[in-house]
A and B are shown apart, each in its own frame.
Chain A
Amino acid sequence: MRYVKILLLNLQQVFEQRARSFVWFLLSLFGPLLMVLFWRGASTTISFSLISSYYFLLVIGGSLLMSHSEEDISLIDIQEGHLGNYLLKPFMYFFAKWTEEIPYRLLQGSFGILTLFIFVLFVHINISINFPKVLNIFIAIFLVIGGIILAQIYKTCLGFIAFWMTDAYGVFQLSDMLIFVFGGYIVPLFLFPHTVEMISYLIPFSYMIYFPVAAFVGLFNTQQLLLILLGQIVWISIFSLFYKMLLRNGLKAFTGVGQ
């Protein structure tokens, strides 16, 4: 219940900054839209309706799934020492951060869905969501939830780097680059050269955004979907362990400097 209360308060805060939030959304809208236009003019054998559906769903995926907690955690909580306030309170730091992040995701996600409707209604864009089986829908929804959780844990761990580095901005940017490439922002991963494609399936970034989005486009059969879900669970478990380890050791470093 208290999480709901905290969530509502955070929602309020986010509404206050709706113009700012809209600019963030434009950011996740712009790239994919540009790609759709690019493919429109391409002479290629790949189906345009598949490609455009992919990028449009990527707009929603990017705004709904991807957490941006890392800067907040590193700059405000760790470097300016606000972490202390959280630690004094009787709830888990991870959830506290998550409740701060969810309102942004909800707002941006709804911007995304709204934009999609506008496009479908006025620009007559065809977006095909493809599910041969009902079971696949359920798995795809689980993939979305898994993607949200994985992104949040990953970004929290990333933010913890600030325990040991005073200026982690370069690392964050590096992470953004990896997400940009392997999250499928440039092209869907199946268009990668074969070896790179295989590698991208082994690292966590594709499980945050690419797989959930591609699942809705209908790129996978039930068996593949289950395999992806398993992959997500594995990565969530790995990062949960990281989270515990980093927080425990980080706190030692944190209190060590007497902040």
Chain B
Amino acid sequence: MSVISVKNLVKEYTVYKKEPGFLGSLKSLVARKYEKVKAVENISFEIEEGELIGFIGPNGAGKTTTLKCLSGLLYPTSGEVKVLGYTPFDRKTKFLKSIALVMGQKNQLWWDLPAMETFLLNKEIYEIPTNKFNEVVGDLSKLLEVEEQLKVQVRKLSLGQRMKMELIAALLHNPKVLFLDEPTIGLDVVMQQNLREFVGEYNRKYKATILLTSHYMGDVEALCKRVIIINHGKILFDGMLSELVKKHAPYKVISIVLNNMPNPKFLEDLGEIEKFKYPELVIKVPRESASEAASKILSRLPVEDVNIENPSVEDIIRDVFSAQKAE
């Protein structure tokens, strides 16, 4: 049985529209125009135990709304959502004790007190036995390297440290299902790296099912095998990251640094020229003929350096989105 199953989920919001200008304001005094906006439009997917899935999409694509429906914060307009066999919106105690939602910009920590105080309150709320609590706090703070900061007022912590404390607070009860919404937002590169490693480690160690949304493709590439791409409330792709690369990027990119200015004639039948600005030359070639093209290049052109790469995931995703627009 899947840990998470979503069938035809729809979530609508009512939005109020205002005409611009002072007159518009006056008009809105009398009658406001409301509009229904579909944040999530009929999406379905299944997630198995222990999977670590990347949930990708631009701002306003419906990622956060989906996560909130999954964690029981929002009441779905229609469709069926099951997490660990529960209907999230019922917010059964057992359900809530086995999930966690971490949002990069939100916090549950007590601002003027050390993070430890919030942990202690959560200990009571989640009914965590004392020895288990000490073990988990010890483990997590060691893993995240914040042992020294547990007794420091939260407002005096750096953004990264605060994020780590948020994570500990959310993971104290050892959730089986973890929703991470933009966990690395606003963190520096080293912190991002740190946090990624931690998430991967948590997934392996506890066989936890993790759904992660992120702007940074780096997060997704480093952690997730499977990705779900969503835009305008619809799923555009659901499958292995490697498949996505194969399907939407049936080409490789050959970057060349040239010695001399080549004869333009030689360039013609190599493949699609992406960029040519002497001495740099970038060519896109079909995946299966990549090695053939490479040998052609080496034989014909005065090459200083050559590099064959897969296109970046960022580019692929952009392709997916622009393909959708064209439809």
Direct A–B contact in complex, judged by CB atoms less than 8 Å apart: yes
> Taking the complex as formed, is B29 at the interface, i.e. its CB lies under 8 A from any CB of chain A?
yes
**What is the bound-complex CA distance between A8 and B22, given in angstroms?**
7
Contact with B along A1-30 (1 / 0, CB 8 A): 000000010011001101000000000000
Distance in Å from the Cβ of A118 to the closest Cβ of chain B?
Answer: 18
- Interface pair A18/B22, CB less than 8 Å apart: no
A contact residues, total (Cβ < 8 Å): 6
Distance in Å from the Cβ of A38 to the closest Cβ of chain B?
Answer: 34
Residues in A neighbouring B28, C-beta threshold 8 A: 15-16
Residues in B neighbouring A12, C-beta threshold 8 A: 21-22, 25
CB within 8 Å of A: which of B166-224?
Answer: none
**What is the bound-complex CA distance between A11 and B21, given in angstroms?**
11
Distance in Å from the Cβ of A207 to the closest Cβ of chain B?
Answer: 34
**What is the bound-complex CA distance between A8 and B23, given in angstroms?**
11
Please list 5 pairs of residues, one from A and one from B, whose beta carbons are closer than 8 Å in the complex, sorted by A's number.
A12-B25, A16-B18, A16-B25, A16-B28, A18-B29
Distance in Å from the Cβ of A102 to the closest Cβ of chain B?
Answer: 15
> Taking the complex as formed, is B26 at the interface, i.e. its CB lies under 8 A from any CB of chain A?
yes
Distance in Å from the Cβ of B20 to the closest Cβ of chain A?
Answer: 9
Which B residues lie at the A interface, using CB under 8 A? Answer: 18, 21-22, 25-26, 28-29
Dominant secondary structure at the A interface? helix
Distance in Å from the Cβ of A110 to the closest Cβ of chain B?
Answer: 11
Q: Which residue of A lies closest to B27 (CB)?
A: A15
Residues in A neighbouring B25, C-beta threshold 8 A: 11-12, 15-16
Distance in Å from the Cβ of A169 to the closest Cβ of chain B?
Answer: 15
Which A residues lie at the B interface, using CB under 8 A? Answer: 8, 11-12, 15-16, 18
Q: Which 7 A-B pairs have the closest CB atoms?
A: A15-B25, A12-B25, A12-B22, A8-B22, A15-B29, A18-B29, A16-B25
Residues in A neighbouring B22, C-beta threshold 8 A: 8, 11-12
**What is the bound-complex CA distance between A126 and B8, given in angstroms?**
63
Q: Which residue of B lies closest to A15 (CB)?
A: B25
Q: Which residue of B lies closest to A12 (CB)?
A: B25
Residues in B neighbouring A16, C-beta threshold 8 A: 18, 25, 28
Distance in Å from the Cβ of A98 to the closest Cβ of chain B?
Answer: 19
Residues in B neighbouring A8, C-beta threshold 8 A: 22
Residues in B neighbouring A18, C-beta threshold 8 A: 29
Q: Which residue of B lies closest to A11 (CB)?
A: B22
**What is the bound-complex CA distance between A86 and B243, given in angstroms?**
55
**What is the bound-complex CA distance between A37 and B151, given in angstroms?**
55
**What is the bound-complex CA distance between A8 and B28, given in angstroms?**
16
**What is the bound-complex CA distance between A11 and B22, given in angstroms?**
8
**What is the bound-complex CA distance between A12 and B19, given in angstroms?**
11
Distance in Å from the Cβ of A13 to the closest Cβ of chain B?
Answer: 8
Most buried by A among B25, B26, B28: B25
**What is the bound-complex CA distance between A11 and B24, given in angstroms?**
12
Distance in Å from the Cβ of A91 to the closest Cβ of chain B?
Answer: 20
**What is the bound-complex CA distance between A58 and B28, given in angstroms?**
30
A sample of 12 more A-B contacts (CB under 8 A), given A11-B22, A16-B25, is A8-B22, A11-B25, A12-B21, A12-B22, A12-B25, A15-B25, A15-B26, A15-B28, A15-B29, A16-B18, A16-B28, A18-B29
**What is the bound-complex CA distance between A12 and B26, given in angstroms?**
8
**What is the bound-complex CA distance between A12 and B22, given in angstroms?**
6
